[in-house]
């Protein structure tokens, strides 16, 4: 039995948070209407299908960061764009399972190690992998989940509860 006064490892804390955030994200992705994939609330906004597809793929950043000390984003092979909600959910299921397995197996020391994201010769950012997990995976997912909930509201699609009740679910 663990001591309730001993803080959890980074791995344990991230694993618990990740599981909850992935569950909440999937609930929103399920509501994206395939027949509205090209809809966007503003000309500068991403279409809803592209936003959902981006969300389905972004948890892959942690796996990318563990493949070496740096990744050239021009060499990353992303899957072809989704054409349906089923495509988005299938991809999300794969990436969510992968990131959960990765986090379950990662050691705190690996989370402290550095990773560099680059595009060709241009360095975008160097950060510890714990920041990759926090910023590029969790915060990024939560940010886009907020966008998607607004898109759904504007399309008059019921928004699920996220951190508390929504106007559509009590």
Residue 4: inside a domain, yes or no? no
Instruction: List, in sequence order, every beta strand (DSSP E) within 34-113.
Output: 70-72
Residue 163 lies in a domain: no
Backbone angles phi, psi at 3, to 5 degrees: -75, 120
Taken in order 102, 24, 79, 58, the sign of the CA dihedral is negative
Q: How far apart are CA 102 and CA 14, in angstroms?
A: 11
CATH code: domain of residue 51: 1.20.120.450
Q: Into how many domains does the chain fold? A: 1
Residue 27's domain comprises 10-154
Answer yes or no: is 165 within a domain. Answer: no
Entry pTM: 0.91
Considering only residues 52 and 165, tell me which one the structure prediction assigns the higher pLDDT: 52
- The backbone torsions φ and ψ at residue 166, rounded to the nearest 5 degrees and listed phi first, read -105, 175
Q: Does residue 146 belong to any structural domain of this protein?
A: yes
The confidence score (pLDDT) of residue 146 equals: 96
Tell me: the pLDDT tens digits for 6-56? 778 888 988 999 999 999 999 999 999 999 999 999 999 999 999 999 999
């Amino acid at each position: 039995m663990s001591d309730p006064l001993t803080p959890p490892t980074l791995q344990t804390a991230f694993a618990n948070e990740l599981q909850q955030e992935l569950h909440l994200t999937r609930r929103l992705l399920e509501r994206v209407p395939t027949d509205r994939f090209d809809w966007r609330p503003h000309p500068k906004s991403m279409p809803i299908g592209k936003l959902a597809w981006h969300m389905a793929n972004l948890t892959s950043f942690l796996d990318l960061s563990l493949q070496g000390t740096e990744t050239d984003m021009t060499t990353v092979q992303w899957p072809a764009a989704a054409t349906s909600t089923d495509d988005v959910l299938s991809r999300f299921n794969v990436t969510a399972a992968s990131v959960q397995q990765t986090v379950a197996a990662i050691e705190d020391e690996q989370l402290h190690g550095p990773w560099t994201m680059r595009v060709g010769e241009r360095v975008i950012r160097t950060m510890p992998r714990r920041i990759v997990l926090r910023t590029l995976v969790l915060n990024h997912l939560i940010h886009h989940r907020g966008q998607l909930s607004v898109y759904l509201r504007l399309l008059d699609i019921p928004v699920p509860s996220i951190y508390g009740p929504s106007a559509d679910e009590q």
